[in-house]
């Protein structure tokens, strides 16, 4: 028996709605499982945990990462200390664009705080050759080191106090950061804090990897 066009359209729309509903339910379930896994990891290492806490978005809004886009949210926030280092790890998201061009970006952020670290305000990310060339043509900042073309080609480095940024990024620090050459990696520093963002959300079982990266960077910045 043939299905009339109206019935076909009704069934088709119903099927699409069903698929969307399944996707939403799956997404909610997956996020709840992720939160549960992060909560367990936090408990295992003796850290405090909050499934949602947007106060951290405002607390760290002096970082470029936390002042980009709109609808910023902090989730699965872990906080604790190891010796004299304060540690915060969180899932962070924000939205850019609008309408059909709207995109939501999801990352895991790791923040270290150590009294007396004294970093200048700075921001470093992977260089995207063509787009960053155009950016420099139109006045975008990129602090280059003539004596270190490998580093300068690998990263865009920005900061309000260029002299202080250059002093911080000495030969040893630059050499250490070259381990992240070609990777979607962001570093920001400000006074006694720095953050790293590996350009994605990490799995809870990968926590030690991002912490090891942060400890390595702390060593680079303090052994001067």
**Residue 221: its pLDDT value, please?**
96
Yes or no: say if 186 and 125 are a contact pair by the CB < 8 Å rule: yes
**Residue 98: its pLDDT value, please?**
83
Q: Which residue has better confidence, 98 or 87?
A: 87
Percentage of the chain beyond pLDDT 70 is 81
Q: Calculate mean pLDDT across residues 33-60.
A: 95
Q: Calculate mean pLDDT across residues 92-107.
A: 90
Q: How confident is the model at residue 84 (pLDDT cuts 50, 70, 90)?
A: very high
Q: What is the pTM of this model?
A: 0.84
**Residue 30: its pLDDT value, please?**
77
Q: How confident is the model at residue 137 (pLDDT cuts 50, 70, 90)?
A: very low
User: At which residue do the structure tokens 């950061």 appear?
Assistant: 177
């Amino acid at each position: 028996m043939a299905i009339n066009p109206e019935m076909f359209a009704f069934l088709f729309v119903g099927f699409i709605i069903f698929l969307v509903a399944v996707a939403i339910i799956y997404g909610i379930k997956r996020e709840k499982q992720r939160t549960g896994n992060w909560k367990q990891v936090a408990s295992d290492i003796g850290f405090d945990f909050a499934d949602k806490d947007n106060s951290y978005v405002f607390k760290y809004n002096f970082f470029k990462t936390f002042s980009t886009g709109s609808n910023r949210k902090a989730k699965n926030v872990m906080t604790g200390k190891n010796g004299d280092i304060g540690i915060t790890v969180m899932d962070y998201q924000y939205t850019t664009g609008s309408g059909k061009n709207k995109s939501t970006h999801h990352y895991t952020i790791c923040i270290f705080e150590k009294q007396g670290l004294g970093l200048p305000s700075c921001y470093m990310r992977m260089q995207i050759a063509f787009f960053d060339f155009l950016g420099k043509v139109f006045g975008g900042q990129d602090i280059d080191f003539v004596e270190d073309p490998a580093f300068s080609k690998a990263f865009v480095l920005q900061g309000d106090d260029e002299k202080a940024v250059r002093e911080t990024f000495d030969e040893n620090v630059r050499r250490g950061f070259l381990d992240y050459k070609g990777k979607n990696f962001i570093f920001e520093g400000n006074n006694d804090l720095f953050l790293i963002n590996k350009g994605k959300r990490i799995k809870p079982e990968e926590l030690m990897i991002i912490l090891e990266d942060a400890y390595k960077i702390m060593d680079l910045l303090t052994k001067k």
